[in-house]
Amino acid sequence: MKPTLDSRQLHAFSALARRGSFTLAAKDLFLTQSAVSHAIKALEDDVGCRLLDRVGRKVLLTQAGEQFLRHTEKILREMEVARVGLEDLSKWGHGRLRVGASTTACQHILPTVLREFRQSYPKCIIRIEPGDHGQQLELLRSGQIDLAVVLEPPNQSLTEFVFVPLFQDELRFIVAPLHPWASLGRAPLESIEAETLVLYNKTSQTFRLVSEYFREEKITLTNFIELGSMEAIKELVKIGIGAGILAPWIARSELESGALISLPLGARKLRRRWGVAHLKGRRLALAEETFVGLCLSVSEVLGLREPEAAA
């Protein structure tokens, strides 16, 4: 395999083709004529053909030289574009931010975070990839996103990822005010199996946590409706179709207005931990560190962070 072309030789060839003179090309490049001559000879040896002819004091391109010049100019333009792009990245507020998040985080957490982020990084290109927990971890692994707002990965995944905790929540039943459980103030254990449960996406981490919780309680989940939207879950529960399971902060306005009632799943609490994950060993850019910091601040403002985490 032949070595990559030397950019200094390409610059010398381009200047010589443009000026038609070793003297003028050397002057433009702040080199000696001998240095330019050596660069051209090395380039011709490298590509294996003659690129220039000397006619008196002038330098003319051969047919091969004319063709090679077109490629040279394209290469040098691309190199300049690459340089400018890197210079832009070093400027405050430039760069990119690629974040993955669940639909819940996209709706309730990211809008406030990104509004604050945009004030500090007005020219940063932001890309959001919505998707559930498992999808986000795969996107992190493949380098398609840089950060993910997700539930805490299983212990075996923590060898791959750094997880910055944001807050902890509790999954609870939500029911309409006229639901029989609402007047009792609890969900009787013996009636849960017979109740229609409205649950989030069967492939999600939340569904897995709920399933494991009830398995430990010796309750089999067979009568359930699976939906891919927390908003849809709330709407079905409002019209009396079963009991939903979600975190109260997702239904804060409905609970405050009395449109929905929140009840514990049982004697044990089912908690989840939210945070920002990124690949272990990867150094975060300043914009990414700022995003993580804003997620922490917004979680606290929304009243989501635990007292010990906020301290």
Residue 262 belongs to some domain of the structure: yes
CA distance between the termini of the chain: 59
In this structure, what CATH number is given to the domain that contains residue 304? 3.40.190.10
pLDDT tens over the chain, length 311 residues: 566 778 889 999 999 888 888 888 889 888 888 888 888 898 888 888 998 888 877 888 899 989 999 999 998 888 887 776 665 555 444 578 999 998 888 888 999 999 999 988 888 889 999 988 888 999 999 989 999 999 988 776 668 899 999 999 999 999 999 999 999 999 998 899 999 999 998 888 899 999 999 999 999 888 999 998 899 999 999 999 999 999 999 999 999 999 999 999 999 999 999 999 999 988 888 889 999 999 999 888 877 775 443 33
Distance of alpha carbon 116 from alpha carbon 74, whole angstroms: 40
Q: Does residue 281 come out as left (phi exceeding 0), alpha (psi in the -120 to 50 range) or beta?
A: left
Instruction: Please write down the HEC assignment for all residues of 170-220.
Output: EEEEEECCCCHHHHHCCCCHHHHCCCCEEEECCCCHHHHHHHHHHHHCCCC
Residue 1 belongs to some domain of the structure: no
**CA 236 to chain CA centroid, nearest Å:** 32
- Asked if 159 and 186 touch (Cβ cutoff 8 Å), the reply is no
Whether residue 255 sits in one domain with residue 173: yes
Residue 13 belongs to some domain of the structure: yes
Residue 2 belongs to some domain of the structure: no
In a 13 Å sphere around the CA of 173, the CA atoms on its Cβ side amount to 28
Domain residues for the domain of 236 are 167-271
Whether residue 149 sits in one domain with residue 228: no
Whether residue 285 sits in one domain with residue 141: yes
Whether residue 126 sits in one domain with residue 41: no
Domain count, the chain: 3
Whether residue 146 sits in one domain with residue 65: no
In this structure, what CATH number is given to the domain that contains residue 12? 1.10.10.10
What are the tens digits of pLDDT across the range 164-185? 999 999 999 999 999 999 999 9
- Asked if 265 and 245 touch (Cβ cutoff 8 Å), the reply is yes
Whether residue 78 sits in one domain with residue 172: no
- Asked if 294 and 288 touch (Cβ cutoff 8 Å), the reply is no
Structural domain ending residue among the three candidates 21, 55, 89: 89
Residue 251 belongs to some domain of the structure: yes
Whether residue 129 sits in one domain with residue 105: yes
Whether residue 150 sits in one domain with residue 61: no
In a 13 Å sphere around the CA of 253, the CA atoms on its Cβ side amount to 4
Whether residue 40 sits in one domain with residue 81: yes
What are the tens digits of pLDDT across the range 24-37? 888 988 888 888 88
